[in-house]
């Protein structure tokens, strides 16, 4: 079972920061997960929310801001707001807590001394529509990562967005995310057999039939966000291929141990 770090080692370190991803790599995570949005000046950045309220204490909206504007914010202090008063808190390079571009994350993965897979979620709806996927595929092409040997897979809750990716880069693995169990009867009729299915652990827990149907159908399954022993055990019982977790070090110990 592959252990994928959800927004990096986000249980301990602020999500989507370079520091969180470097920590996940250091712990031995098999893969990294990130969300991607497009700035007003056309840069792909690793941010989950459409605005900065939660992660940078600002009301700015990502799609209306340039990269230079985003670069001025601290994206890490919210995780440990009292660190300045903690004498035992380690000093952190400010660069590790700034906004992270998709390019920088790809460079980080490319420079690693082992293969690390990358699960990239495109966020929708967005004012840029399909431009997000086009920009992403263009960037992956620069790295030579659109072939069948690519370490990258693209995920989304948007079926239309994933169709777009498949047209632009037919060899890239695709993950259809599922946040409601009752959506599956419709989705199973339209998503191709070679697409991976990505249900949330909450839906698998609350609706046991969903996991059973996925297993009986022989579907490849990647599950988010798996953080407890009970959740891991359920995924193991279902033969899940990959788990996405906020706690990669903890889950690696459980899976490998």
Active site residue 222: no
Q: Per-10-residue mean pLDDT for the chain, 257 residues long?
A: 98 96 98 98 98 95 98 91 58 85 98 98 95 98 97 98 98 98 95 97 97 96 98 98 98 95
Distance between alpha carbon 212 and the CA centroid of its chain, in Å?
A: 25
Please compute Rg for the chain using Cα positions: 18
Give 127-140 pLDDT, tens digit per residue: 999 999 999 999 99
Give 68-88 pLDDT, tens digit per residue: 999 999 999 888 765 555 556
Question: What integer pLDDT is reported at residue 95 of this predicted model?
Answer: 84
C-alpha 6/C-alpha 248 separation (Å) is 8
Question: What integer pLDDT is reported at residue 200 of this predicted model?
Answer: 98
Q: Where are the domains of the chain?
A: 2-256
Give 188-198 pLDDT, tens digit per residue: 999 999 999 99
Options 11, 16, 48, 183, the catalytic residue? 48
Q: What is the DSSP letter of 91?
A: P
Question: What integer pLDDT is reported at residue 144 of this predicted model?
Answer: 98
Question: What integer pLDDT is reported at residue 82 of this predicted model?
Answer: 59
C-alpha 48/C-alpha 100 separation (Å) is 12
Question: What integer pLDDT is reported at residue 93 of this predicted model?
Answer: 79
In CATH terms, the fold of domain 2-256 is TIM Barrel (3.20.20)
Options 6, 11, 43, 222, the catalytic residue? 6
Q: Which residues are within 8 A (CB) of 113 and not within 5 positions of it... i.e. 6 or more apart?
A: none
Peptide bond before residue 125 is cis, with ω within 30 degrees of 0: yes
Helices (H) and strands (E) in the chain, counts: 11, 9
Question: What integer pLDDT is reported at residue 215 of this predicted model?
Answer: 96
Active site residue 124: no
């Amino acid at each position: 079972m592959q252990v994928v770090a959800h927004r990096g080692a986000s249980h301990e370190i602020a999500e989507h920061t370079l520091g969180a991803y470097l920590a996940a790599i250091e712990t031995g995570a098999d893969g990294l997960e990130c969300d991607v949005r497009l700035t007003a000046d056309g840069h792909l950045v690793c941010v989950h929310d459409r605005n900065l309220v939660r992660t940078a204490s600002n009301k700015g909206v990502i799609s209306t801001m340039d990269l230079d504007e985003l670069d001025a914010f601290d994206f890490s202090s919210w995780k440990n707001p009292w660190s300045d008063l903690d004498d035992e808190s380690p000093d952190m390079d400010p660069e590790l807590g700034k906004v992270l571009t998709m390019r920088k994350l790809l460079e980080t993965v490319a420079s690693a001394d082992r293969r690390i897979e990358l699960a990239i979620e495109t966020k929708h709806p967005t004012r840029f529509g399909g431009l997000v996927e086009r920009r992403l595929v263009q960037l992956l092409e620069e790295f030579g990562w659109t072939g069948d040997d690519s370490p990258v897979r693209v995920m989304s809750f948007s079926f239309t967005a994933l169709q777009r990716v498949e047209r632009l880069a037919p060899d890239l693995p695709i993950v259809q995310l599922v946040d409601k169990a009752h959506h599956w009867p419709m989705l199973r009729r339209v998503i191709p057999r070679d697409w991976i299915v990505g249900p949330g652990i909450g839906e698998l827990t609350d609706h046991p039939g969903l996991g059973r149907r996925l297993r009986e159908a022989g579907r490849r399954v990647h599950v988010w966000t798996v953080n407890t022993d009970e959740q891991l055990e359920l995924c193991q019982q279902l033969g899940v291929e990959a788990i996405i977790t906020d706690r990669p070090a903890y889950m690696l110990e459980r899976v490998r141990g």
